[in-house]
Structure 1
Amino acid sequence: MLYRIAADALMLLHLLFILLVLFGGLLVLRWRGLLGWHLPMVVWGAAAELFQLPCPLTGWENAMRRAAGQTGYGGGFIEHYLYPLIYPAGLTPRLQLWLGALVLAVNAPVYLRLLRSRRRA
């Protein structure tokens, strides 16, 4: 039971990470001290999608699920949990490129604004 709870908690942490990658820039606008945390998250999130890199959280979650007597899943977190909610077909490398571009597109205006405000100061 403990492994299942840990796997579920890791799944929620994974989702939180994805949401922070996409929208954490808004927090950075308010609290500049988060910049050192958010920027590496954006770099990893974009790189993972653009280069189809495996996420270590997926492997950990699968290991915990197997330890709990459950089956793991193939593919990544987005493909397993989020993508089926949005699209019925499988995640393709081309779509992953678009997701990586989305990460950059959502965060670029935030960081451009930060750079501009820093130059004025």
Structure 2
Amino acid sequence: MEPQLLYRFAADLVLFLHVLFVAFVVSGLLLILVGRLRGWAWVHNPWFRLAHLIAIGVVVLQAWLGVICPLTTWEMALRARAGEVTYTGSFIAHWLESILYYRAPAWVFALCYTVFGLLVVLSWFWVRPRPFRRR
């Protein structure tokens, strides 16, 4: 197999992982809130809740520090090695602009991520996770 095809496949794989990460962060909060209303016990799992809180925390921190997500950087490096066109800026900004033709300054995304992160923190108190168990 040609090296360019391997780099392209690897870039697509990183893109897929990035989409899964975003889906986890967004759908995680929705599932927590719906699970509270529907009485789903699994939404109280402390490991799931901690992973979800850390995930959005990393996104918010990167946004406020002006750091591009490492997954975006990695994907773009692989695409460049494959000889493909790359984009600049963040993953979400690129895809919102591509899909919805919506362009916004970086501070708007930082604010949106922060508000979403605050909702995740508030959900921690509204939908309390079970305590971590000691072995």
TM-score band w.r.t. shorter chain: 0.7 to 0.9
Equivalent in the alignment of 2:78:
64
Which of 58, 70, 83 is the equivalent residue of 1:44?
58
- Bigger radius of gyration among the two: 2
1:32-111 paired onto structure 2 within 5 Å: 32-89=46-103, 91-111=104-124
Measured against aligned partners, the alpha-carbon deviations of 1:98-121 in whole angstroms (never above 9, x if no partner) come to 322332244234211233876xxx
Q: How many equivalent residue pairs? A: 117
Structure 1 runs, 4 residues or longer, greater than 4 Å off = none
Q: Distance in 1 between matches of 2:56 and 2:96?
A: 18
**Letter of the 2:61 counterpart:** A
5+ long unaligned stretches in structure 1: none
Q: Distance in 1 between matches of 2:50 and 2:102?
A: 36
RMSD after superposition: 2.5
Instruction: Give how far 1:39 is off.
Output: 1.8
Which sits farther off after the overlay, 70-79 or 103-112?
Answer: 103-112
Q: Distance in 2 between matches of 1:44 and 1:116?
A: 20
Equivalent in the alignment of 1:19:
23
Kindly, what percent of the aligned residue pairs are identical?
A: 27
1 or 2 for the larger relative contact order (CA 8 Å, sep ≥6)? 2
What TM-score, normalized to structure 2? 0.70
